[in-house]
Structure 1
Amino acid sequence: MTTLGTASAAPGEIDTGRLAVGESRDGTEVGLPCAVVNGATDGKTLYLQAASDGDELNGVGVVSRVVPRLDPAELSGTLLVVGVVNYHAFQVAEHRNPIDDTKMNRAYPGDERGTSSERIAAATFDAATRADLILDLHQGSTSRMIDEVRVRCGRRHRMHGECLELAKTFGCGYVLDQKGPEGQLARAGPDEGIPTIDPELGGCVGWDEESIRAGVEGVFNVLREYDFLDGDATASQQTRAKGFDQYGSPSGGLVRFEADLGDRVSAGDLLFEVIDVFGELQARVTANSDGVFWRTRRLPQVATGEYVCSVGTNVDTY
């Protein structure tokens, strides 16, 4: 019998339940939606979570499509799933936990006696560290971004090669291989010896079906490659960036992009122009270095110095 919160499944069974993480302001118990998919035969354990940031919903879309397609009778090993991590932010469609104004993916490995976010991080980290592999599903918040996977442990980390291979197996086509901030699950997991990746499934308001499909395919690639399911993963070469150049606006106005997401750009290429409300040119911004046009703001209006876009740099393939 395998349990996660109130979900409990014998070999060949699936069950859903709630993972307790404290109480709301009226004293009602808060439980994260969770599931156990226990394969009929022994194998590895995969931990899968979504909505660590409350407005990043594509991962929830992936979970809602993956779990119904899993037949425990055909599965080797176990999946532990938390469908919504940042409970309080999810309820109000915000990025950060409004209870303590914290970005959840800066709170790992958490503290079971700490703030709201630290307690949620501790409970989910305890579940994650029972696994052999960790998938932490994200997206580029509500901005526009390509589908990519992030390897956040740092290239000198002892687990870097295994995390990079897991990212390639997930197979979004693009990988950001750059050490992440303290408190990310994709940094804390490898410190425990567990290959961990942070798929960033596009960026949108609400959710995007194309990015969700990419995430579903990525999860099933992992399940096949690591012998949870029979069959072969869809292998493909990945474009890897080892850094980012971020660009702000030199003036206020309206942004007009000259590059599309995923485009290869060279140093000196025009990335965007800024015009005023009457269409008069205010500024032109060019790329500082070669790379991939990776991410942009969603709204056209900008103030002086406000973020506009990012280019992935130091690019190779593997």
Structure 2
Amino acid sequence: MTIRYLIALLALAAAFAAPARAAAVPGKDVPVVDKIEAAGLPTGRHDFYLSVAARASGQPYLVPVIVLKGAEPGLRLGLFAAIHGDELAGIRVIHELAAGIDPKTLKGTLLMVPGLNQPGLEAGNRHFISGSGSGFRTDLNRTMPGEMKGDAAERYAADLWHGVMAGQVDRVVDLHTQTRGTAYPLFVFADFSNAVARQMAFDLMPDMIKNDPGEGGTVETTFMKSGIPAVTFEIGMPERFDPALTTRAHDGIINLMRRAEMITGRAMPPARQPIVGSSYSNVTTDEGGLAVIHVALLDPVKQGQLLATLYDPFGREIATYRAPHEGHVLSVATDPRREPGAMLVRILR
């Protein structure tokens, strides 16, 4: 046996004898459950992974859930974020609330889901992405409360509904942003026919509110139909954490919680009254091109006012677009690339 061969054998033996280094796995100590039962939890913070549906491999999706169980009984508030996988701001708002609220001084329960749509989050996409059809896309926020014997997206939605939503909360704020390539201010959809939902909208202290009857399959409307007051809270732009807007959204939820006497302090009226409307119009392109937007979020506009100019690849003007009615700017395109039929400006009437 040569000296070189002996050294190699000794090195190999040492490698096998050395203790294995454990890999750092974030959240590895978090229990995995099929259903959240917040009522039986003791006072404190509780983190869970909710096992939801299954991938084509048979492995379940794991949805993070944070429960802050107060020391005294009170309202159960549900906060849900990122049912659209590119709408991330609500995740940061939930993280800030979870870190800043002491369950020992909390009345009631704060149930928070920082990432409802795990397939969409992983894909960086608004939709639920299933394996069928090389990546079939479904809007989960038009699919609630799901269907236990439906397709992959419907089953996923049903597991969310029955696992963490239904029967767990008394009020709901569903956290969103505008979709990719566009922006909102701090904005709330609320059905004013429900007095509690209306008050929630103002307590959140947004820039704008739309009195809106809701749309089938959304988190907000599904809860409203089940008798739970709910609103949709839009927090700016997708795919980013905007500190100014996430801080304002956090403060709005704290204000709402004070109104509900979940935490101490007096609910405050907004420093500036929000702009309230009951309808909006989308100004859309007639053909593709590169858009320059001439107005900003919250701007008042008059009928006929110039809103946008569309250019071709050589910088030649293709078309101009004007306001169809007076109102305030609710949303604008942030991506200059506009396909035919794409939104340029949305005006709240």
Return the TM-score normalized by structure 1.
0.90
User: Superposition RMSD on alpha carbons, in Å?
Assistant: 2.0
Secondary structure of 1:45's aligned partner: strand
Aligned twin of 1:146: 185
CA contact (8 A) 1:140 1:200 kept: yes
Among the aligned pairs, what percent are the same residue? Answer: 25
CA distance in 2, matches of 1:256, 1:310: 15
CA distance in 1, matches of 2:95, 2:296: 30
Relative to structure 1, the CA distance from residue 179 to residue 7 in structure 2 (aligned partners, 3 Å threshold; closer, same or farther) is closer
Relative to structure 1, the CA distance from residue 234 to residue 4 in structure 2 (aligned partners, 3 Å threshold; closer, same or farther) is farther
Q: Does 1:17 align with 2:48?
A: yes
CA distance in 1, matches of 2:36, 2:259: 30
Q: Which has the higher helix share?
A: 2
Counterparts of residues 288-299 of structure 1 (less than 5 Å): 288-299=324-335
Aligned twin of 2:226: 192
Moved over 6 A (4+): 6-9
Q: Does 1:44 align with 2:75?
A: yes
Q: What's the CA shift string for 1:35-93, capped at 9, x where partnerless?
A: 21110011111111111001100011111111111111010001111111011111111
* Unaligned segments of structure 2, at least 5 residues: 1-32, 131-135
1:224 CA drift (Å): 1.1
CA contact (8 A) 2:296 2:332 kept: no
* Unaligned segments of structure 1, at least 5 residues: 314-318
Secondary structure of 1:43's aligned partner: strand
Aligned twin of 2:153: 117
Q: Does 1:233 align with 2:272?
A: no
Question: Of 317, 321, 329, which aligns to 1:285?
Answer: 321
The letter for the 2-side match of 1:135 is V
Which shows bigger deviation, 278-287 or 14-23? 278-287
CA distance in 2, matches of 1:50, 1:174: 20
CA contact (8 A) 2:86 2:238 kept: no
Secondary structure of 2:250's aligned partner: helix
Aligned twin of 2:22: none
1:239 CA drift (Å): 1.4
CA contact (8 A) 2:34 2:50 kept: yes
CA distance in 2, matches of 1:233, 1:4: 36
Secondary structure of 1:268's aligned partner: coil
Relative to structure 1, the CA distance from residue 78 to residue 243 in structure 2 (aligned partners, 3 Å threshold; closer, same or farther) is same
Aligned twin of 2:172: 134
Aligned twin of 2:251: 217
Q: Does 1:310 align with 2:346?
A: yes
Question: Of 63, 66, 74, which aligns to 1:35?
Answer: 66
Relative to structure 1, the CA distance from residue 41 to residue 260 in structure 2 (aligned partners, 3 Å threshold; closer, same or farther) is same
Report the count of equivalent residues: 306
